[in-house]
Amino acid sequence: MESADNLQAVNTHWNREGLAQTILDSLAAAGKRLDALTIEDLAPLDQFHGGGMAATRELAALVEISEGARVLDAGGGLGGPARTLATLFGCKVTMLDLSESYVHAAEILTERIGLGDQVKHHVGNAVELPFDDGSFDLVWTQQAGMNISDKERLYEGFHRVLAQGGTLAFQEFMAGPVQPVIFPVMWARDDSSSFLRTPNEMSSLIENAGFRARVWDEITVNVAPARRTSGPGYGIQEIVMGDDLPAIRLATKRNEEEGRIVRVRAVLERF
């Protein structure tokens, strides 16, 4: 079980007040019409994971998502993937994130883009999912598990809330063959709140939770956070990490090149 101290540390690391207004100000500065925003306009600011919008689309292309499908986006941050799935497939997405400031910003952006009927946002802990058994057809998560130590319970929870035959799709940083990880990284300043396991370890625990892999790809390229696209402040990494970002980018580059972290993209079936 995740300790209260770890949950507090993770919340402190990610929490940023006034995110929604900062994002809207950045969009305006980049020349975007705030009354006619698209998911592409928001992508540099709401797809807070390696690979950005492109990675979300690549993962979605591996999953059969039907119109009206019930989707849980666990650790959905600012709601970029949730809004993307809702727009592309017409599905109903429930997003859960531990950080209240992110969920508040996500709600504002979802309403701005007119997706309030399709995408709902909740503050909560992914290890203690507040949903009934079999509530979803797809559980989706992109780089949200690195701060979670109790990964067995995390994936057991995903299994519980999925309907029989449902799908789990994820993109996740895992431990590479060379250790230790060099800090700081995007999700942690030191190893006290970073909990990576190797792909082999993760594959075994996920199978033990009741899943069968259809796709399991280890990706070791393009893991460094994308740089600002255009306009002053038009990038979520700069907004959230500020002056720490150069050190994070340098460490990420070394971790990638030296085989200390790998990114895994996977699609699994619940049985």
- CATH architecture classification, 4-270: 3-Layer(aba) Sandwich (3.40)
pTM for the whole structure: 0.92
Going residue by residue through the chain, which has 271 residues, state the pLDDT in tens, using 9 for 90 and above. Answer: 666 666 677 777 777 888 999 999 999 999 999 999 999 999 999 999 989 999 999 999 999 999 999 999 999 999 999 999 999 999 999 999 999 999 999 999 999 999 999 999 999 999 999 999 999 999 999 999 999 999 999 999 999 999 999 999 999 999 999 999 999 999 999 999 999 999 999 999 999 999 999 999 998 654 444 444 444 446 899 999 999 999 999 999 999 999 999 999 999 999 9
* Residue ranges covered by each domain of the chain: 4-270
Q: Phi and psi (nearest 5°) for 139?
A: -105, 130
